[in-house]
């Protein structure tokens, strides 16, 4: 802990005369804090100076989860927030809570304000306002409740007790601050008789004490593991119940780093599940969705039309691209079990819309018309899936069993205007296939740097007045190819030219004189782009000396292809992993023709460097009236581990040094007059 937090902690325990954060001396599981303990903790919690001027501090965050044999659970929680600054006052002035009434119900048990002078004020729950949740793209009938809090002051504390019943789907995980009628009608756990949960132990503000207890029926064994740190834990037998408790204290706010991996991949959390293994989860996911993939005559006719005359591989790709390009991403609710049941393929075909699970289901329906063995699969885009078989998923894709028994992965949600069949931005993600026999947790494929390649070749000329004229050819595949297609089809031609000039990046006055590129929905080959570029006065200097930077090393159209290489890696070292968009292989080849008689006297030095995560190589050759160079950058991993970051940063710094380096040329001496 930091020195300021440590001083505050010792001052607090001394003031209370008791260590509140240890397990009780009396035998039994840890229980809720008493009213008197809460008052003492608030008084001893300190002020903003003890927490690096944080706007608020969570004095207490505790929850008791009571699991039923059906798998439904009730959570009784208490959260005490002490206000430290004006920003903290503003942040707690209105409690805004989104929830999904099809999966959970909750109610405020009480809301109290502990004033600085010791007075306790009850907030009337009759002031709760209900309204639909503002939504976009996913219209699943969410609701939002708001509760205005009377004016808070610095030093006041807000105590909120909530009772919630139901369950959370990973990507619908809502705040526990959800006031509504705790009616259980219509609620059923996704997997009857099973319960699972992921609980984070770190947030954006400091926490003095956090306790999470799960009261399980003794005949429901639960698996759990603590990830990304250590927590105090206990297991108590309490009659017909087993009580699992996890605790921590003096928890610092999440330390944010630029473009870091998901916080769930690097901050403490507990993953719990009664599900025995991933194979059970796999068979369940198959069973609840298998009825959804029947086709009708309209679907069969479309499959026949788009695959006529194609071989097997071409037909698979044709179905995927049809789904990707014709099923828009938007969600409509079908009621209960919405979050984990795919819509019927017939409905998605009719509506021409759905979210990821429905788009995946549409592809399953079409590929089954062709006679393939195809299933849905669960994954977590953007973060890790841990080994405990709890619900840790936010995305649904399609998997197809090949003739040799292996599986291939298809993701039509990713593939609008893309030649890819599976997103190269989603390498090495946890996957669970929904098959009849059941599958263990597996990983999506790794994509080699060459898969995501950018090869740019430029023939450039600098005239005696310093003007630059370039002819550039770019060949792209994988991730760069996807973004070329998407930006190429975004605007009509006049607007498109302006957009691409905005991304040109060679010089402020550079203009595109000619632009041509692949037809965005021509999926028969990789992407390409050709353009002619002119930039007056690109070279600077006088009659006898001119200087300029290597034009292609200005990284034209980097916004499309290599944006993440220019994030600005200012940290010398990192605590958490760095997440890039994808692996990459970038190769530039440029020949620069100079005016007659010009000679290069200074230019960037050749260099090379290889690290575990990235490498760079630069070669340059001056010649008679010309300058030729090649540049290669290889990004080997899309997640850079902290130990590999210094080598990665050195590669990026070398790339910038080359691009910022000057080429200095001398002109021939003029004859004396």
- Please give the span between the terminal C-alpha atoms of the chain, in angstroms, as a whole number: 79
What letter does residue 32 receive in the DSSP assignment? P
CATH number of the 281-446 domain: 3.10.620.30
Contact 444, 426 (CB under 8 A): yes
The torsion angles phi and psi of 108, rounded to 5 degrees, stand at: -70, 130
Q: Which residue has the tokens 């329906």?
A: 365
Any residues with CB less than 8 A from the CB of 411 and at least 6 apart, and which?
Answer: 360, 397, 398, 421, 422, 423, 426
Domain boundaries, the chain: 3-274, 281-446, 450-666
Q: Are 340 and 286 in contact (CB under 8 A)?
A: no
* Half-sphere exposure for 5 (CA within 13 Å, toward CB): 18
Tell me if residue 214 falls in helix, strand or coil: strand
Please return the burial class of 70, using the count of CB atoms within 10 Å of its CB with bins 0-12, 13-18 and 19+: middle
For 530-561, b/e burial (b = at least 16 CB within 10 A) is ebebbbeebbeeeeeebebbbbbbbbbbbbbb
Is the Cβ–Cβ distance between 567 and 257 less than 8 Å?
no
pLDDT score for 670 = 60
Strand order across the 129-132 sheet: 94-99, 143-148, 129-132
DSSP-H helix ranges across 46-152 = 86-91
Is residue 162 within 8 Å of 109, Cβ to Cβ?
yes
- Residue 628 pLDDT: 97
Instruction: Return the H-helix or E-strand segment holding 647.
Output: helix 645-660
Residue tagged 């699969």 (tokens) = 377
Nearest-angstrom CA–CA distance, 434 and 340 = 12
CA distances from 655 to 474, 480, 549, 586 (A): 19, 19, 13, 11
State in words which class domain 450-666 has.
mainly beta
What's this model's pTM, rounded to 2 decimal places? 0.89
| CA atoms lying within 13 Å on the CB side of residue 671 | 1
Q: Exposed, middle or buried by CB within 10 Å (0-12, 13-18, 19+), for 575? A: exposed
Query: What would the CATH number be for the domain defined by 3-274?
Result: 2.60.40.3140
Q: Which of the residues in the chain have pLDDT under 50? A: 1-24, 170-182
> What SS3 state is found at 217?
strand
Residue 318 gets the label, from left (phi > 0), alpha (psi -120 to 50) or beta, of alpha
CB 70 within 8 A of CB 190: no
Residue 316: phi and psi, rounded to 5, are -60, -50
3-class SS at 655?
A: helix
Give pLDDT, residue 335. 62
Q: Which tokens is 195 given? A: 């319960």
What does the pLDDT read at residue 164?
Answer: 85
41 in Cβ contact with 8 (< 8 Å): no
Sign of CA dihedral 51, 56, 62, 67: negative
Nearest to 659 by CA among 549, 533, 563: 549
Q: What is the CA radius of gyration of the chain?
A: 30
Local structure of 399: helix, strand or coil: strand
Ordered strands of the 196-200 beta sheet: 196-200, 269-273, 223-227
pLDDT at 98: 75
Residue 3: its H or E element? helix 3-16
**For the residues of 430-496, what is the DSSP string, one character each?**
EEEE--SS----EEPPP--GGGSEEEEEEEEEE-TTS-EEEEEEEEE-SHHHHHHHHHHTTS-HHHH
Question: What are the CA-CA distances from residue 374 to residues 294, 320, 393, 403 (Å)?
Answer: 12, 12, 20, 12
Backbone CA torsion sign across 275, 280, 285, 287:
negative
Tokens of 304: 């026949």
**What is the rounded distance in angstroms from the CA atom of residue 546 to the CA atom of residue 536?**
14
């Amino acid at each position: 802990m930091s020195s300021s937090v440590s001083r505050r902690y010792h001052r607090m325990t001394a003031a209370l005369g008791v260590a509140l954060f240890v397990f009780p001396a009396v035998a039994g599981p840890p229980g809720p804090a008493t009213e008197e303990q809460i008052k003492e903790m608030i008084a001893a919690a300190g002020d903003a100076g003890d927490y690096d001027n944080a706007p608020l501090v969570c004095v207490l965050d505790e929850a008791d989860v009571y699991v039923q044999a059906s798998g439904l659970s009730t959570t009784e929680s208490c959260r005490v927030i002490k206000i430290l600054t004006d920003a903290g006052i503003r942040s707690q002035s209105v409690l805004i809570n989104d929830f999904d009434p099809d999966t959970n119900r909750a109610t405020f048990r009480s809301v109290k304000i502990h004033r600085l002078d010791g007075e306790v004020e009850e907030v009337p729950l009759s002031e709760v306002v209900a309204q639909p949740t503002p939504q976009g793209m996913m219209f699943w009938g969410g609701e939002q409740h708001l509760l205005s809090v009377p004016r808070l002051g610095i030093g006041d504390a807000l105590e909120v007790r909530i009772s919630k019943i139901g369950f959370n789907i990973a990507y619908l995980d809502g705040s526990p601050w959800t006031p509504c009628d705790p009616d259980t009608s219509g609620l059923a756990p996704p997997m009857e008789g099973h319960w699972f949960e992921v609980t984070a132990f770190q947030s954006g503000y400091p926490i003095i004490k956090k306790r999470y207890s799960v009261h399980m029926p003794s005949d429901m064994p639960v698996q759990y593991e603590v990830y990304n740190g250590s927590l105090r834990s206990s297991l108590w037998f309490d009659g017909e119940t087993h009580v699992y408790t996890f605790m921590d204290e003096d928890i610092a706010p999440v330390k944010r780093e630029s473009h870091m991996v998901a916080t769930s991949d690097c901050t403490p959390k507990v993953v719990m599940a009664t599900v025995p293994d991933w194979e059970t989860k796999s068979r369940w996911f198959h069973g609840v969705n298998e009825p959804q993939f029947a086709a009708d005559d309209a679907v069969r006719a479309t499959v026949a039309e788009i695959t006529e005359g194609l071989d097997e591989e071409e037909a698979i790709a044709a179905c995927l691209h049809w789904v990707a390009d014709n099923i828009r991403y938007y969600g409509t609710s079908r009621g209960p079990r919405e979050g984990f049941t795919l819509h019927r393929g017939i409905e998605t075909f009719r509506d021409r819309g759905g979210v990821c699970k429905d788009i995946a289901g549409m592809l399953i329906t079409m590929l089954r018309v062709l006679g393939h063995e195809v299933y849905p699969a669960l994954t977590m885009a953007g973060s890790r899936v841990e080994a405990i078989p709890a619900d840790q998923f936010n995305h649904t894709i399609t998997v197809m069993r090949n003739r040799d028994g292996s599986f291939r992965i298809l993701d039509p949600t990713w593939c609008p205007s893309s030649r890819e069949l599976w997103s190269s931005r989603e390498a090495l993600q946890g996957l669970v296939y929904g098959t009849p026999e059941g599958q263990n947790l597996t990983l999506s494929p790794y994509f080699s740097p060459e898969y995501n390649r950018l090869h740019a070749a430029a023939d450039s000329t600098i005239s005696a007045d310093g003007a630059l004229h370039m002819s550039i050819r770019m060949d792209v595949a994988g991730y760069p190819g996807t973004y070329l297609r998407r930006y190429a089809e975004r605007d009509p031609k006049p607007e498109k030219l302006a957009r691409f000039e905005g991304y040109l990046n060679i010089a402020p006055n550079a203009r595109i004189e000619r632009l041509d590129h692949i037809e965005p929905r021509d999926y028969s080959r990789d992407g390409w782009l050709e353009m002619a570029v002119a930039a007056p006065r690109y070279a600077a200097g006088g009659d006898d000396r001119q200087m300029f930077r290597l034009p292609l090393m200005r990284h034209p159209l980097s916004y499309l292809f290599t944006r993440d290489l220019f994030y600005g890696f200012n940290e010398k070292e990192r605590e958490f992993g760095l997440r890039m968009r994808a692996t990459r292989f970038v190769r530039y080849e440029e020949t620069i023709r100079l005016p007659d008689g010009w000679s290069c006297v200074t230019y960037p030095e050749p260099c090379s460097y290889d690290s575990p995560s990235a490498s760079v190589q630069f070669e340059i050759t001056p010649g008679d009236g010309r300058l030729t160079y090649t540049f290669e950058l290889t990004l080997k991993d899309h997640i850079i581990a902290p130990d590999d970051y210094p080598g990665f940063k050195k590669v990026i710094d070398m790339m910038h040094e080359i691009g910022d380096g000057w080429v200095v040329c001398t002109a021939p001496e003029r004859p004396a007059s």
